[in-house]
């Protein structure tokens, strides 16, 4: 039996079979995404132990699901019946920060903010900053190609991953990529693995590029009478040629939920709030902040100002990060993650409002508005099956609208389980066949996170 072989191959403290403990590892934060019952959770301390587990799973043809902190929102880390979950919470070492080459080497269980803090001690910065940065791990960030608040200017996780160590679907421990700033030897397999959600390999080490620490940011805030008006301001900033270091949208539902939870005194008389930051040094930063303020005022802001209080500015951005957990306290939250061209943001926000009305569903909206990545959050009362059905219909309508406007079904959360049908609608059949060919090549036994990302053939 698989469980007997695992016991024989691993130190006793690596194997978890207690049903109550295992239950804490079987799903991520995706509402209503199904999950199975694994035979065990493995908590390895080395890449070699991961390799040995995968080899045993190959022998037994048992599914393997890699798990970081479980903060995902698409079901990508959900357990599969009869398989094992490899949890990386014990592989959390920052192995190296090289200040000359400006890179860091980390294990997959390192928390995003912990890496950022360690880099700051050396005057360096790791830019990708998902809203879950205080909790999410580098392994999970790599699996979903996570973005975040500052990716509008600085890019997403894939832009910073230089190299990987991983275990293949045949149980081989391999290194991909490089440590050099440039390199075009062979196919870019690192880019292939980043964002593959554990379906092509299990990452056991990550080498990331770093940047010098930034100058202090300047914050501009604007209150708007509607989401559409805020969307017009986003489009205006995009048309101006200015690239802010962050441009975030929060609607009044989110602000109220955060305020009720944390009593931060942030509730405002506005249906939407835009928060912009610029980090150009000196006079250039002042010019950019003034230009963004002008964009807000010209597109109907009821109030707009450059923040002169850093504590106040930080509180507004903290409210943005707390929006999802604050809403989650109120009941089940089905989280969208569509991305549309920046010019289409006003229309997409209008369609979200229409969808909320058409399906009688409460939708709160947050967004990395500067790059068109919208997160409508669909709220339902606990135990209300009818409301759940309406919310799921609204979820599908939002996907359709995003695709209609030239967008994509997921900007940063991944496909997982919830967006597989959306992926089928976004990609041509021949392109899906190319994806399946890659899966067949790297995971010939189809044991790595089976049932995720790729939709089944009809």
Flag whether pLDDT at 263 surpasses 90. no
CATH of the domain at 103: 3.30.465.10
Are 51 and 64 in contact by the 8 Å Cβ rule? The answer is no
How many helices (H) and strands (E) would you count in the chain?
Answer: 15, 19
Please state, in angstroms and rounded to a whole number, the distance separating the CA atoms of residues 447 and 80: 10
- CA 339 from chain center: how many Å? 13
- H-helix or E-strand containing 87? strand 84-87
Q: Say yes or no: 124 and 220 in one domain.
A: no
For residues 252-262, give the mean pLDDT.
87
pLDDT band at 268 (very low <50, low <70, confident <90, very high): low
Please state, in angstroms and rounded to a whole number, the distance separating the CA atoms of residues 341 and 402: 9
Please compute Rg for the chain using Cα positions.
22
Flag whether pLDDT at 179 surpasses 90. yes
Q: Say yes or no: 277 and 257 in one domain.
A: yes
Q: Which residues contact 94 (CB under 8 A, 6 or more apart)?
A: 104, 105, 106, 107, 110, 114, 115, 118
End of a domain among 273, 298, 323?
323
pTM above 0.85, yes or no: yes
Please state, in angstroms and rounded to a whole number, the distance separating the CA atoms of residues 43 and 197: 19
For residues 169-185, give the mean pLDDT.
96
Residue 180: count other Cβ atoms within 10 Å of its Cβ.
11
- CA 108 from chain center: how many Å? 15
Tokens of 411: 């900007």
Flag whether pLDDT at 37 surpasses 90. yes
Flag whether pLDDT at 264 surpasses 80. no
pLDDT band at 313 (very low <50, low <70, confident <90, very high): confident
Backbone angles phi, psi at 131, to 5 degrees: -60, -25
Residue 131 lies in domain: 94-212
pLDDT for position 457: 83
Please state, in angstroms and rounded to a whole number, the distance separating the CA atoms of residues 59 and 64: 12
Q: Tell which phi-psi region holds residue 402, choosing left (phi > 0), alpha (psi between -120 and 50) or beta.
A: alpha
- Average pLDDT over the chain reads 95
Can you name the residues that pair with 124 across neighbouring β-strands? 212
Are 59 and 1 in contact by the 8 Å Cβ rule? The answer is no
Q: Model confidence over 385-440: pLDDT tens digits?
A: 999 999 999 999 999 999 999 999 999 999 999 999 999 999 999 999 999 999 99
CA 146, 156, 190, 137 dihedral sign is: negative
Please indicate whether residue 320 or residue 129 has the higher confidence score (pLDDT). 129
pLDDT for position 100: 97
Is 54 among the domain residues? yes
Q: Which of 43-47, 148-152, 281-285, 324-328 has the highest mean pLDDT?
A: 43-47
pLDDT for position 311: 80
Is 173 among the domain residues? yes
End of a domain among 323, 352, 374?
323
CATH of the domain at 42: 3.30.43.10
Q: Cα-Cα-Cα-Cα dihedral of 117, 121, 126, 129, to 10°?
A: 30
pLDDT for position 266: 66
Q: How far is CA 281 from CA 25, 217, 221, 314, in A?
A: 45, 9, 19, 19
Is 36 among the domain residues? yes
pLDDT band at 458 (very low <50, low <70, confident <90, very high): low
Is 456 among the domain residues? no
End of a domain among 212, 235, 266?
212
Please state, in angstroms and rounded to a whole number, the distance separating the CA atoms of residues 218 and 103: 27
Are 274 and 303 in contact by the 8 Å Cβ rule? The answer is no
% of the chain with per-residue pLDDT over 90: 88
Q: Say yes or no: 358 and 411 in one domain.
A: yes
Tokens of 353: 């409002």
pLDDT for position 308: 80
Q: Model confidence over 89-103: pLDDT tens digits?
A: 999 999 999 999 999
pLDDT band at 43 (very low <50, low <70, confident <90, very high): very high
pLDDT for position 330: 87
Q: Where are the alpha helices (DSSP H) in 338-384?
A: 345-358
Please state, in angstroms and rounded to a whole number, the distance separating the CA atoms of residues 382 and 322: 21
pLDDT for position 260: 85
Flag whether pLDDT at 269 surpasses 80. no
Q: Say yes or no: 207 and 219 in one domain.
A: no
Q: Say yes or no: 81 and 100 in one domain.
A: no
Q: How many domains does one find in the chain?
A: 4
Is 61 among the domain residues? yes
Tokens of 311: 């504590």
For residues 315-334, give the mean pLDDT.
87
Exposure on the CB side of residue 69, measured as CA atoms within 13 A? 19
Q: Say yes or no: 203 and 230 in one domain.
A: no
Backbone angles phi, psi at 410, to 5 degrees: -150, 130
Q: Say yes or no: 119 and 205 in one domain.
A: yes
Q: Say yes or no: 433 and 338 in one domain.
A: yes
Flag whether pLDDT at 314 surpasses 90. no
Flag whether pLDDT at 106 surpasses 80. yes
Residue 265: count other Cβ atoms within 10 Å of its Cβ.
9
């Amino acid at each position: 039996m698989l469980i007997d072989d695992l016991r024989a191959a691993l130190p006793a403290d690596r194997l978890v079979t207690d049903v109550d403990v295992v239950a804490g590892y079987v799903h991520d934060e995706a509402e209503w995404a199904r999950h199975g019952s694994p035979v065990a959770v493995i908590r390895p301390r080395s890449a070699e132990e991961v390799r040995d587990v995968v080899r045993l799973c190959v022998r037994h043809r048992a599914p393997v699901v890699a798990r970081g902190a479980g903060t995902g929102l698409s079901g990508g880390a959900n357990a599969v019946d009869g398989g094992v979950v490899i949890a990386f919470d014990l592989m959390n070492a920052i192995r190296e920060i090289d200040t000359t080459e400006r890179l860091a080497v980390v294990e997959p269980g390192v928390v995003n903010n912990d890496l950022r803090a360690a880099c700051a001690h050396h005057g360096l910065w790791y830019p990708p900053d998902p809203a879950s940065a205080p909790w999410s791990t580098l392994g999970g960030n790599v699996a979903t190609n996570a973005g975040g608040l500052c990716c509008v200017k600085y890019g997403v996780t894939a832009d910073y991953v230089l190299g990987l160590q991983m275990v293949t679907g045949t149980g081989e421990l391999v290194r991909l990529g490089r440590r050099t700033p440039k390199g075009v030897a062979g196919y870019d397999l690192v880019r292939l693995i980043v964002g593959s959600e554990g379906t092509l390999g299990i990452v056991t080490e990550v080498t990331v590029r770093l940047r010098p620490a930034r100058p202090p940011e300047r914050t501009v805030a604007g209150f708007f009478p509607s989401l559409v008006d805020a969307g017009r301001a986003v489009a205006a900033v995009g048309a101006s040629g200015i690239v802010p270091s962050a441009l975030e949208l929060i609607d009044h539902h989110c602000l109220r939920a955060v305020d009720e939870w944390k009593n931060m005194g942030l509730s405002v008389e506005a249906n939407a709030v835009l928060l912009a930051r610029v980090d150009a040094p000196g006079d250039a930063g002042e010019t950019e902040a003034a230009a963004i303020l002008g964009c807000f005022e010209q597109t109907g802001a009821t109030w707009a100002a450059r923040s002169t209080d850093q504590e106040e500015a930080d509180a507004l951005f903290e409210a943005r990060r707390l929006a999802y957990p604050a809403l989650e306290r109120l009941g089940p939250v089905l989280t969208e993650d569509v991305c549309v061209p920046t010019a289409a943001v006003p229309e997409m926000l209008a369609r979200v409002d229409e969808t909320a009305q058409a399906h009688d569903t409460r939708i709160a909206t947050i967004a990395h508005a500067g790059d068109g990545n919208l997160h409508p959050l669909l709220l339902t009362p606990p135990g209300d099956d009818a409301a759940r059905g309406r919310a799921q219909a609204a979820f599908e309508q939002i996907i359709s609208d995003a695709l209609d406007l030239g967008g994509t079904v997921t900007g940063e959360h991944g496909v997982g389980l919830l967006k597989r049908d959306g992926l089928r609608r976004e990609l041509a059949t021949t392109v899906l066949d190319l994806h399946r060919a890659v899966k067949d090549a790297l995971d010939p036994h189809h044991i790595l996170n089976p049932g995720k990302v790729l939709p089944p053939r009809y």
